[in-house]
Amino acid sequence: MNMTITIKNTTILFLFIVTSFPVLAQRDILLCAHQEEGVISLAGKWRFQLDPENVGMREEWFKGIKPEETIELPGTTDEQCKGAPERKQDGRFTRIHAYRGAAWYQVDVDIPKGLVGKRLVFSMERTKVTQVWWDDKCVGRDNSLISTQYFELGDCVKPGRHILTVRVHNGQEENPPVGGNHQTSDGTQTNWNGILGKIQIKALDDVWINDLKVYPEVDRKIAKVQVVLGNRLGGPLSGELVLKMRSWNVEKPHVLKPVVVPVKNVGQDGMVEFDLQMSDSVQLWSEFTPALYRLSVEFKGKARKRKFNDKKEVDFGMRKFHTIGTNFAINGKRIFLRGKHDGAVFPQKGYPPMNVEEWLRILKIIKSYGINHIRCHTWCPPAAAFEACDRLGIYILPELPHWGGVGNKPKVMEGDVEQKTEVYDNTTEYLIKEGYRLLDEFGNHASFVMFEIGNELGGDRQEIASIIESFRKYDPRHLFAGGANTFLWAPQLSTADDYWTTTMTGGSYGSGIYKNTQGKEVRSSYPNHNVGHVNNILRGTDYDYSSGIKGINVPIISHENGQYQMYPNYKEIEKFTGVTRAYNIELYKARLEAAGMSDLADDYFKASGALAVICYREDIESAIRTSGFGGFQMLDLQDFPGQGTALVGILDSYLDSKGLITPEKWREFCNDVVPLLRYESHTWTTSQCFQAKVVVANYGANDIYQPVRWELTDIAGKQIATGELASFKILQGELTELGNISVNLEFVTAPQKLTVTLTIPGTEYRNSYSIWVYPDQDKPLLSNSVKVFSSLSEEAKDVLSKGGKVLILPAKEAIPTSIDGAFQTDFWCYAMFRKYNPPGTLGILCDPKHPSLNEFPTDFHADWQWWRLLKFGRPINLATLPRDYRPIIQVIDNVTLNRKLGILFEAKVGAGSLLVCSMDLQRQQEYPEGRQMLASLLKYMDSEAFCPEYILRMEDLETIIKE
């Protein structure tokens, strides 16, 4: 075994960040040493008192005032009903026992005689801004929101009973100098007050193992170990380190022989470094094989004629997370980050789980949808989350709790609703200290592969770069970037960044207006509905982001892609039995009832959700089919309850499925291996030959030596054509083109939806695509019995008065209550971006069996054959029509406006029959779906089935259609 030993003098930094605060008193509750030797667990009942007037410091509550209340710790004030109900919120969930300010926690601790002379350290795994007293002596302040807070209680503590007092403040007045974030946001996990995780006092000797870090070097098959020995005695320190290591979560553990490392004359706070040769039997950690090693280090030594012994364990993974060109890589293999944004959404308890078992449950749900990466938006989860990610092979990116400016205040864009501008004089200092603490506490975790300062930062580019450089120098085990979507209004790659998370790679943006961004987009949708390819560029499945990443030499990650809103599922309301209530969703339900459409709620939910899934799929596939693309961080797999309430997930806030798509079906297009079909159009005619290219994105563990089979089936599942594309090898980390599919559609019964399915035999990998085939026809011939108009002209009124049939295909000028059309569902939520004047719609709802659609195959929701009809059509606001009137095809509105919108509706008017279609059919006749829709409507109107029952008065009609 090769071993290098280096002894260095180092300084151990204990970060106690000072601010000034208040305190309190409690009942006789006694906690004694138990469990781990030398550890006093402080979990249990504490005395407690709120301090809303902030008088505890002045009145010296820490001196033993005995409050009447108690509280169980770990826990929060919300959980234990210590607070008052908030005003019902319409843009987020509502806390039913909210409290913001100072709260005092106090407990009696019995120090046994066996701990006398030991150094006692009090620690809290997760809390807010704190001040701590041991008896009546202040022992420190801390404002870390992320890392464990440590407080020295002293080394001369007498045996017997002592009073420990903690003042926790979660109010704005004492917050750290950072901008809005999800670490403290009421919009997601709530701004709780309390103490979470491990709460304990630990007895330490004067010589101890203060820190243990492992730096894997996969290429050399070496684990570089750093042991920092703490020494309060001063003078030289000698002894030995005994190391034992084995992999533990694999079928065949790799056990290394124990190693003894001599320690000679190490100075105070000395560092010992050495290399452990892992051998050819080393087991690497990755998303495919998340093998973990457990390193145990025991120090045996003496100083000043006293003997000391201490032990420390750490889990780590032998992994190299790096980049190869514009791809991410793990241990030399190119991978693709299929990520989700995580905003700390925990509606039941209002804070993140602190145990590994619950995180394993959460992450297994997420991973079942093909996700291999999590970006924690302006927050850092607890150690349990990292441990669960280690075990499951999920790449995690924590952020510091900052969303604002760094160095100086960003330039304010008038009318912009996204930009955060908070910046403080000491923001940079705080971020650096908090970053070092985060790296120290979580840096050994194999899953912790990336790190950045925060979200959508502004201010001083150079200062952000300097912070990142300092982090990289401090702990090079991770990839670093300044932040996610930094300087969003003027995107530019920083030379300090290892990767770039952005929405576009050029141009400028502000207040919903994009300039010079065309071809620079790297996601599918934006706050402005006129930007993003899903709603604006129809190219079948042949669109990718190759132009957006051109010339960029680091991996690009699509920032917060998706954000496709869907209508609420009101059945979710009953789930809220914890610390929050969904009064916002209850309000949306009441609004729909007031609009007279409550009976449509469930259909709205299902139809908008189905379209959102379609949009998400295109978003994800367009990223995966882009050669050299780094990955995406979708927003989101689950709903986001804050910022106006963004119901954008296929899972609800509780991570329960909404029933819109199964994990298996989602993994068809979101997985390590995805068979892809690239074709230029979703709609075809029987005179055409369907042409498509088959590509396989292989970001799995190995090359694939299998052909790809394809099959074209009709609506009944009957096979129309099939074939196999052989390949010698589908390369790992590559997009491999296997060949083309060509099928003559001449003999297809039309109109009909067909399905093309790709499978890789012997694997789970498959994917399927819908195309629509229509009869080859010129512009449909008009029936003599149907008169067509572009407005409610006098001639149209005359035909109706004489009992005729009228089809109105209105020009924009003739429908003053109409709004812009859109194919995609509304971005994020209408309430947040209404200033940018989006349509705010969520797709369509229709009855596929309605006779008007007999010749236009459709589901009850929108799909790609509807794209031109919805994008260029104009939904008409039917608010002035009778309350119970319903259109044939209704455009679903958002929860803010609840408009009754229609693009196809009929009525009996006078003696005549009227059909109105505002899908811009006049200008869609060059496309097969446009011709087919018109043909279907005309055939319907020329049949006995066209017999509208609902009677509209001419004056009602004139409120929505003009001459």
Q: What is the pLDDT of residues 263-286, one digit of tens each?
A: 987 766 688 999 999 999 999 999
Spatial separation of the C-alpha atoms in residues 264 and 303, rounded to whole Å = 11
What are the tens digits of pLDDT across the range 381-437?
999 999 999 999 999 999 999 999 998 776 655 556 666 666 677 899 999 999 999
CB of 802 closer than 8 Å to CB of 912: yes
The predicted structure's pLDDT at residue 416: 62
Please give the model's pTM, rounded to 2 decimal places.
0.94
Are 871 and 611 spatial neighbours (Cβ–Cβ below 8 Å)? no
Q: What are phi and psi of 298, to 5 degrees?
A: -120, 130
Q: Calculate Rg over the CA atoms of the chain.
A: 32
The rounded distance, in Å, linking the Cα atoms of 922 and 826 is 26
Q: Decide: 338 and 629 in contact? Cβ < 8 Å.
A: no
DSSP 771: E
Q: Which of 622, 619, 617 is nearest to 547 (CA)?
A: 622
**Share of the chain residues as helix, strand and coil, in percent rounded to the nearest 5:** 20, 35, 45
How large is the greatest C-alpha to C-alpha distance in the chain, in angstroms?
115
So what's the pLDDT on residue 510?
87
Task: State the pLDDT at residue 154.
Answer: 84
Q: Which helix (H) or strand (E) is 519 found in, with range?
A: none
Say if CB 101 and CB 167 are below 8 A apart.
no
Give me the mean pLDDT over the 136-156 stretch.
94
Which one, of 633, 53, 735, 196, lies nearest residue 374 by Cα? 633
Read off the pLDDT of each residue in 632-656 and give the average, rounded to a whole number: 97
What count of other Cβ atoms lies within 10 Å of the Cβ of residue 156?
9
Average pLDDT for residues 934-963, to the nearest whole number? 96
Nearest by Cα to 555 from 563, 543, 545, 565 = 545
Provide the β-strand partners of residue 301.
239, 308
Answer whether 100's CB lies under 8 Å from 191's CB: yes
Predicted confidence (pLDDT) at residue 695 exceeds the cutoff of 60: yes
Per cent of the chain over pLDDT 90 is 87
pLDDT class for 17, splitting at 50, 70, 90?
very low
pLDDT, tens only, 843-894:
999 999 999 999 999 999 999 999 999 999 999 999 999 999 999 999 999 9
For the chain, the average pLDDT equals 93
Taking residue 746's Cβ as centre, other Cβ atoms within 10 Å add up to: 12
Q: Which residue has the tokens 């039941």?
A: 348
Q: Report whether pLDDT(186) > 70.
A: yes
The type of residue at 530 is N
Question: Which pLDDT score is estimated for 304?
Answer: 83
197, 195, 193, 196: which is closest to 83 by C-alpha?
193
CA–CA dist 898, 887 (Å, integer): 15
Give the pLDDT of residue 417: 62
Q: Are 900 and 877 in contact (CB under 8 A)?
A: yes
Task: Say if CB 773 and CB 685 are below 8 A apart.
Answer: yes
Stretch among 2-6, 226-230, 912-916 having the lowest mean pLDDT: 2-6
Q: Is the confidence at residue 832, as pLDDT, over 70? A: yes
What confidence score (pLDDT) does residue 302 get? 86
| DSSP reduced 3-state for 801 | helix
Reported as half-sphere exposure (CB side, CA atoms, 13 A), residue 191 has a value of 21
Q: Which two tokens stand for residue 52?
A: 């809303």
Buried b (16+ CB within 10 A) or exposed e, 415-450: ebbbbbebbbeebbebbbbbbbbbbbbbbbbbbbbb
Which stretch of DSSP H or E encloses residue 472?
helix 461-474
- Sign for the CA dihedral angle at 515, 518, 519, 525 comes to positive
pLDDT average, residue stretch 467-474: 97
Indicate if the pLDDT at residue 569 is higher than 70.
Answer: yes
For residue range 731-773, list pLDDT tens digits in order: 999 999 999 999 999 999 999 999 999 999 999 999 999 999 9
Structural tokens at position 59: 């009145």
Report d(CA 98, CA 815) in Å as an integer: 48
Beta bridge partners of 103: 50, 168
DSSP labels, 572-622: GGGG--SSEE-HHHHHHHHHHHHTT-GGGHHHHHHHHHHHHHHHHHHHHHH
Residue 841 has pLDDT above 90, yes or no: yes
Selected residue with higher pLDDT from 638 and 155: 638
Coil, strand or helix at 217: strand
β partners of residue 98 = 84
